[in-house]
Chains A and B, each alone.
Chain A
Amino acid sequence: MTAQLPSPGAPLQHYVSTAPFDPMSIEVMTEEQAKLHLASQRKLMWWKFKRHRLALASGIFLLLLYGMIVIAEFLAPYNLHTRNVDFIYSPPQRVRLFHDGNFVGPFVYGRQMSLDMDTLKRTYSDNRNDVQPIRFFCRGDSYKFWGAIESNIHLVCPAVGGQMFLLGTDRLGRDVLSRIIYGARISLTIGLIGITISFVLGIVIGGLAGYHGGVFDLLVQRVIEVLQSLPSLPLWMALAAIMPVSWSPILIYFGITLILGMLDWTGLARSVRSKLLSLREEDYVLAAQLMGASSARIIGRHLVPGFMSHLIATATISIPGMILGETALSFLGLGLRPPITSWGVLLTEARSVNVIAFYPWLLFPMIPVILVILAFNFLGDGLRDAADPYR
């Protein structure tokens, strides 16, 4: 029974609820609340993250991609450097299922090349009689898995004696699809290595600035301001120019990640510093100090866990910047150089307008770049929302 209101304006009767009363009932939790309340921080974050569908999908997509780069040799139909001299600048081939109205499974038509003697352009045409069924779990180009295990098994390969260039070939007749798969290795990991460097620099420098303040803080702030005011492209160029030409490509690769990492820490350092400054004022930090806890313990046990989730979210959002940075540098010819292959390196092939006009499929490496960057942004967005599960 609930209180009935008197008719408008009439005097209010003294109403007493007769429902059973338990003073503890407000502290007793419903099942859902109990589940929520007994959950650890991490669990709460996972629940909240799960609700961000786009972020979840992006996370799965990225996991698949990273899984892919581990077995790139197996997935790619051709080797990184396999040249098909007869098929230079071959446009993408279509995978078909039906030949003459009959189902034959996935196949491609064979290709015939003819040279246009007026423009000296190669033109390719499908030979409608040459059905080349695609093979699965098959033997093709031999490779050394991770440079160690010799093998020649691929997920897909062209028919014996046939070709299959699903995304076309470049000026040396190399399969663009295979090169994109191989390039993912460098492009996806350069972001991680770079972010690790900037993460460490950001936490250490920002942490010291935030916790100790004073002159060091002032100095760090000014350095960050200077670094952030430099136009990034000329700076990259200058730093890339420092690297000796005689270095091996792999050294250059590390050099580039180092450069990217060293320029990227500023934003992270700032957010670490401001987070520390605000957390330092919390009573539980004072409580720890009053217990006699050392600075290291306070930072490690009380402060860092408090903003770690934020940091991870921030870092996730800044990985795309790294990937784009590598792509831009390589595209300009300042970053990685062949034979190292990254998506940026692949795009250098498409540097002139002529090439793009004639062979637009050379721009295909842009698609994974766009997808990966979007995925990282969505993932970071979801992580950031989940980082503060109490809000």
Chain B
Amino acid sequence: MKSGSDLLRIENLGISFSMLGGRLHVVKGANLRVLPGKVTALVGESGSGKSVISQSVMGILPNTAKATGKILFTDPLDGRTTDILQLPTDGEQIRALRGSRMAKIFQEPMTSLSPLHTVGNQISEVLAIHTESSKEERRARTEEMLDNVGFSNPSRTYDMYPFELSGGMRQRAMIAMALICRPALLIADEPTTALDVTIQAQILELLRELQHKLNMAMLLITHDLGVVANMADEVVVIYHGEIMEAGPVEAIFRNPQHAYLKGLMAAVPHFDMKPGERLKALREVPVKTDTLWAKKKEVANAPEILLSVRDLTKSYKTRKSGLFGRKHTTEVRAVDGVSFDIRRGECLGLVGESGSGKTTVSKILMRAVTPDSGSVTFDDGSGKINVLTAQGDDLMDLRTHIQMVFQDPVSSLSPRMTVQNILSEPLEIHGRGDRAYRLEKVRGLMQAIGLDQRFLNRYPHSFSGGQRQRIGIARALALGPQLLICDEPVSALDVSVQAQILNLLKDLQKQLGLTYLFISHNLAVVDYMADRIAVMWGGRIVELAPREVILRNPVHPYTRGLLAAVPFPDLDRPLDFTTLQASGASEQGEWAPQFRPDEAGDPLIPADLGDGHFVLARKNVDVRELRPW
């Protein structure tokens, strides 16, 4: 290996796509490099062209794309430099590089493994393509790699199918597949975006560890500056296909210069925010609700508690029928004895990783899922409504009080309807007013979410993710609800857009006097929004407390794990992988004994720590014992 050479050197790269209307230039004159054994992070919002750059490095650009410039890859093994753009797309040379000398891991672990082959089969296939080795050798090397990426029983994992693994485990398998040939360059395209924070921390730690161990270079593509601060040596910030700022990680984080980078940094919610401190969104949305009818309602004698949930339980039965009709029924408790109250005008945050049952809770509240037992009562001062049994007119009435904002801005808007139709549909269903009245309301809604009136006749496909999410919020507001259930409303969005949506939701809450149930897997986001926070794990609420209490004084090991797992865009506060490991985050077996069910099978009950702070623990445990230190 020549000393002092770049492993990957991208010079003046331009990429354009042919579209229906003409050519679209998505990358303009980009320069960047990756040093051997170092990590270069490419940071930008969606649509900035960062993924396209990674595709061009691997030579897997779509056919409609045209690339100009140079992508020089210098293999440290033999010191030869190749210009990837000059190689034929599926020629022998590029195929010899792909998978062997450079490898890629993708964002979506659920779809990037073939469901028809075992994990080991897919990983050892890479070896079969690039090396000459016997079957036994391949199996041995694959198992060694699986062991490296943290599978406790590699030989068993080898014969497992992807569907048997969780998202985080699949991402580990993907990493094993990418690294099996010891590539000189790993391209990680948003490797942790689809994962929960706790899993994200684990994967980041794994990537960093392996990168050091194998002395491998990495091109890390992400929109999350927190991830960058924890991983990168050099940082390149890209916006709209052009590089805005580049430099060593120290310079970037200690001395950010460009308005865009500063904007991105200001948009990340963090735990040090003072109460009432506002995130600075890159693109702030003005909220004007004066034309909206749903003025802040002052009900003098309204009860304090708007929604009361008691002992909700929902279990799913999975049936495995054997070949000869024998049936094994396994019961999974998605929601297990969940109780909480939502007070009028507050925002209750519900945090937990995927599979913790938080979405099921929200769907039960919306009557999209029927629970096995439990009760939900809604009371806005005009009489109690039993949410779970309401029928006919009562149910229709209830629909106007509780509405929902969805996670996925793409699938939550009907693609064949214009914005106007989408927004006026709830009014039509409930027979509110005539055409003119509805149009006026729709205009008011558009103003409330800061979208231009001219967009009324456009279709959802012409909006960005953030704009679509705003339309989703407007639709939820159309009937003038009092309670808004936001199910991961920002987890599909970039950090910069996330701040915009969060601020919008906050402003709307203040001006319209709304009550929120805010669901997210990211504790930092929930912390920004919520007054009280409930932490869910395994279908149960393990800790519930006012926001400051949970941050200052988390008791449950899972909550502590969540707090430690959020990456900050701050070099002085790196992720503490050792505490993460020690707290055992999502492994119930590693929690302190007082938080685990005992051998006798006595159920866990919420222990009251005062100040509205509850934590799920053993029945006979002393409150002082629960305090960590």
Contact = CB atoms under 8 A, between A and B. Distances in A.
A9 B4 contact: yes
Contact of A38 (B47, B283, B458): B458
A291 B425 contact: yes
B330 interface: no
Interface stretch (A63-71, A184-192, A251-259, A280-288): A280-288
A37 B458 contact: yes
A382 to B, nearest CB: 15
A306 to B, nearest CB: 6
Interface in A268-300: 282-284, 286-293, 297
Interface in B375-424: 395-396, 399, 403-404, 406-408, 411-418
A242 interface: no
Given A284-B411, A284-B414, A290-B366, A32 B21 contact: yes
Interface in A1-26: 2-5, 8-17, 19, 21, 23-26
Contact of B248 (A12, A36, A306): A12
B31 A2 contact: yes
A23 B283 contact: yes
A284 B242 contact: no
Contact of B244 (A21, A24, A301, A390): A21
B260 interface: yes
Contacts of B31: 2-5
Contacts of B464: 26-27
A290 B259 CA distance: 42
Interface in A66-102: none
A144 interface: no
Contact size class for A? Answer: 35 or more
A41 B459 CA distance: 8
Nearest to B240: A26
Interface string B196-212: 00000000000000000
A293 B399 CA distance: 10
Contacts of A139: none
Interface stretch (B6-14, B177-185, B558-566): B6-14
Candidate in A2, A12, A301 with the most chain B CB atoms within 10 angstroms: A12
B462 A37 contact: yes
Contact of A283 (B11, B252, B412, B429): B412
A34 to B, nearest CB: 8
A171 interface: no
Interface string A15-59: 111010101111100111101111011001001100100000000
Nearest to A24: B283
Contacts, number: 165
A289 B458 CA distance: 23
A297 B9 CA distance: 56
Contact of B243 (A9, A17, A305, A306): A17
B21 A33 contact: yes
A221 B1 CA distance: 64
A390 B24 contact: no
Contacts of B47: 26
B4 A10 contact: yes
B33 interface: yes
Contacts of B472: 287
Given A32-B19, A33-B21, A290-B404, A27 B368 contact: no
Interface in A127-144: none
Nearest to A41: B416
A8 B368 contact: no
A5 B283 contact: no
Contact of B33 (A5, A17, A38): A5
B416 A13 contact: no
Given A2-B28, A41-B459, A287-B475, 9 more contacts: A5-B11, A5-B33, A14-B251, A26-B45, A26-B239, A27-B283, A32-B22, A41-B415, A51-B20
Closest CB pairs A-B (n = 5): A9-B4, A32-B21, A37-B462, A14-B247, A283-B412
10 contacts: A5-B32, A8-B33, A36-B19, A36-B20, A36-B462, A290-B399, A291-B403, A292-B395, A293-B425, A306-B415
